[in-house]
Structure 1
Amino acid sequence: MFGPFERAVAGRYLRARKGERFVSVIAIFSLVGIGLGVATLIIVMAVMNGFRADLMGRILGLNGDLSLYGVTRSITDYDDIAAEVRKVPGVTQATPLLEGQVLLSAGPYSSGGVVHGMTKQGLNDLKAISSNIIAGSLDQFEGDDAIAVGETLAERAGLGVGSQLTLVSPNGAATAFGTVPRVRAYHVVAIFDAGVNDYNAGYVFMPMSAAQIYFQKPKAVTQIQVMVQDADNVRPVTRAIQQALADPRIRVMDWTNSNNAFFGAVQVEQNVMFLILTLIILVAAFNVISSLIMMVKDKTVDIAVLRTMGATRGAIMRIFLMCGASVGVTGTAFGTLLGVVFCENIERIRQVMQRITGTNLFNPEVYYLEHLPAKLVWGQVIEVIVMALALSLLATLYPSWRAAKTDPVEALRHG
């Protein structure tokens, strides 16, 4: 498309001579603008992808991809149901769980919390907890006196392995003087870091038998947590479980129902950020238009000379198309490289910025996570590159057409 003549002239125009620096400076600003726009878009999309993937992995890793509930809020034959669910294709794990709300108390500290009663094997299978034990061990997670707590709760309540944590449940025994809350102290055998501040601060785990005694639900659980191979395609597994059980007493709810509003909001925010940041590239494309128009104005006499020497209108148009395309391609390549390198080192950059400023740039109590995630999706990166190149090319069309329409006679007469 571009011959040696067009490439030579376009290269000469891009290398401004003395007295023509202003046009060259505008072209450099256009290049930097496109580069920064592409880099910003890649970085923000990667952070949004990482935030969604990390948050989804942690929340679903703790709550399960789907759960089975009893219509009477209790499931008695849970072992048989869990065994039946495990036979469904796509299911990797089915864990009975007894959940209850309590008041957590240790010394002067007290706060609301949630108890999850699980078997020792079930808690070991819950990798979000068992793989992140920072003190103690799950080997002692048995009997009626053991409990595992989160790191944040342990710090706030001053707990360590062997410390006592008192649980108070409002659903106690009925007496002539009213309902007496159930109060029971448990020994901490393990401290975990789930990576989500809310879980570290308000969730505790105890053996299933101890939870059944405490909540007065002998041989019963409140739900069965299920993990699947592909959480993004959980709907077919949900339907398969419903068909396999065919039990009106069991209600199946997957994460797309229970957390759909939350993850949907994250997706909407990602789409809106994409549209907003695309405007940065669009503004840079307008800078390309202005720089090329000024270049055409500055090179009017040169264009006339080239036309009188035999250059066609198509050749003139290709020259200025190449000038604008060079700015767009170089800016896009620079922005892509900057964005990818930034994403690959984003956590190190955050730590350096925190040390320099002395502030916490990513508070886990606000953002749920304890590090800044970034996940590059190369399909999105390619979309950004194609969009930036397309906008840059479109920005060169009008100035190039104006240059090709230049009348050499009029240009030389007034030049």
Structure 2
Amino acid sequence: MFGPFERMIAFRYLRARKGERFVSLIAWFSLIGIALGVATLIIVMSVMNGFRQELLGKILGLNGHIGAFAIAGPLPDYDAIAARIRNVPGVVSATPVVEGQVLLTSEGGGARGGLARGIKPEDLRAREIIAGNIIAGTLDDFGGEDSIVIGQRLANAMGLRIGDRITLVSPQGRTTVFGSVPRLKAYVVVATFDVGMNEYDSSYVFLPLAAAQIYFQTGQGVTQVETFVTDPIRVRPVMRAIREALGSTPLRIISWEDQNSSFFNAVQVERNVMFLILTLIIVVAAFNIVSSLIMMVKDKGRDIAILRTMGATRGAVMRVFLLCGASIGILGTLTGFLLGMVFCWNIESIRQGLMALTGTPLFSPEVYFLTRLPAILDYAEVTQVVLMALGLSLLATLYPSWRAARTDPVVALRNE
């Protein structure tokens, strides 16, 4: 498409000579703008992908994909219900759980709210997100009526170590002749976990199921049967199958999408808005290409007239300036692509380095839920960004190139 003659002229025009520094400076700004726009778009989209994926993995790894709740009160005969749910195709596990809000206190005087979950010891050991992230202690000691497993951040905040006692205070107290008295029970910390999500590591505690039933006074019932499925993204068909398997049993079946839909919808909306906003950086850089090429065409009017009188066609002149603009766009896009990819591959190391250099915490887990900055590259999305940048850059060259091709050599030389 581009011959040797057109390439030679285009690259000669791109090299700044005396008196042409200003046009070249605008071209460099255009290149830098496209590079920064592409890199920023790749980095932000990758971080948003990682943020959503990490949150989805943590939430679904700890809380289950489907919950079967009683219409009112504790859920009786939970073992039979769990067995029927396990027989449904697509179900990985069904776990009876007792859950309740508590106030957590320690001998050192610390106190904070938390969520206590009662679960069978064998079920907790089978839950990889907990069993695979034990920091101290062991789940082999999890059992009986006075053992508890807590998050590492909670242990640090309350000054607890393995073997220390933590007291649970329930807001639903027992009624006495003196009024309502809160329920208090001390448990021995046998293990601590760190799943990498601040909300869970600082507020979740696990009790043996039998101990939780005694503490929350659910008798022989549980709060819910927590179900994990093979594909949590396609949870609706499994929900329908569970309803059919349970028949007329009066239960409420709720999926993770129902419980967290507003949160993940907000993340998706934010991601789309960020994409549109950051795309404007590339659009602005493309307009810079337009302005720099128009100035170049104006500056090279005499050269264009001489080329036309020497036999260069309008198509050849148009291709020369197309190549000038395309070179800026392609080089800027490739630079931004490489910069964005390298940044995403090393984003956590860069964050740690900036924290050490400035002494300021970046990406606080108390605000962003996660303990590290995630970035997951979606190569289809990266390709979309690169093609969009190339497309905008090429579109920006069409009008100036057309204007150059339409230059009348007689008028241009007369004006000189």
TM-score by length of structure 1 reads 0.97
Structural mapping, 1:193-342, within 5 Å: 193-342=194-343
Structural mapping, 1:354-365, within 5 Å: 354-365=355-366
Establish whether residue 149 from structure 1 lines up as the match of residue 150 from structure 2.
yes
Residue 89 of structure 1 corresponds to which residue in structure 2?
A: 89
Secondary structure of the 2:372 match is: coil
Q: Which runs of 5 or more residues in structure 2 are unaligned? A: none
How far 1:101 moved relative to its partner?
Answer: 1.6
Q: What letter corresponds to residue 404 of structure 1 in structure 2?
A: A
Q: Deviations over 1:280-300 (max 9, x none)?
A: 000000100011001101111
Cα 1:9–1:73, aligned 2, differ >3 Å: closer, same or farther? farther
Q: Deviations over 1:183-222 (max 9, x none)?
A: 2111111111121212222211010011111111122110
Q: What letter corresponds to residue 303 of structure 2 in structure 1?
A: D
Q: Distance in 1 between matches of 2:2 and 2:83?
A: 68
How far 1:248 moved relative to its partner?
Answer: 4.7
Secondary structure of the 1:259 match is: helix
How far 1:55 moved relative to its partner?
Answer: 1.1
Q: Distance in 1 between matches of 2:290 and 2:90?
A: 54
Q: Distance in 2 between matches of 1:297 and 1:83?
A: 80
Greater Cα shift, 396-405 or 171-180: 171-180
Q: Distance in 2 between matches of 1:248 and 1:298?
A: 83
Q: Deviations over 1:75-113 (max 9, x none)?
A: 112112212222222222221110012221112122222
Q: Distance in 2 between matches of 1:97 and 1:340?
A: 43
Residue 167 of structure 1 corresponds to which residue in structure 2?
A: 168
Residue 388 of structure 1 corresponds to which residue in structure 2?
A: 389
Greater Cα shift, 205-214 or 178-187: 178-187
Secondary structure of the 1:169 match is: strand
Q: Deviations over 1:242-296 (max 9, x none)?
A: 2222335111111111100001000000000000000000000010001100110
Q: Deviations over 1:114-158 (max 9, x none)?
A: 110000111112222111111111001011111111112211222
Q: Distance in 2 between matches of 1:248 and 1:23?
A: 77
Q: What letter corresponds to residue 40 of structure 2 in structure 1?
A: T
Q: Distance in 2 between matches of 1:204 and 1:98?
A: 12
Cα 1:17–1:62, aligned 2, differ >3 Å: closer, same or farther? same
Q: Distance in 1 between matches of 2:241 and 2:93?
A: 15
Q: Distance in 2 between matches of 1:85 and 1:317?
A: 69
Q: Distance in 1 between matches of 2:207 and 2:248?
A: 29
Residue 72 of structure 1 corresponds to which residue in structure 2?
A: 72
| Percent of paired sites with the same residue | 61
Residue 5 of structure 1 corresponds to which residue in structure 2?
A: 5
Q: What letter corresponds to residue 216 of structure 1 in structure 2?
A: Q
Q: Which runs of 5 or more residues in structure 1 are unaligned? A: none
Greater Cα shift, 404-413 or 188-197: 188-197
Secondary structure of the 1:280 match is: helix
Residue 120 of structure 1 corresponds to which residue in structure 2?
A: 121
Moved runs in structure 1, 4+ residues, more than 6 A? none
Q: Distance in 1 between matches of 2:20 and 2:319?
A: 21
Q: What letter corresponds to residue 285 of structure 1 in structure 2?
A: A
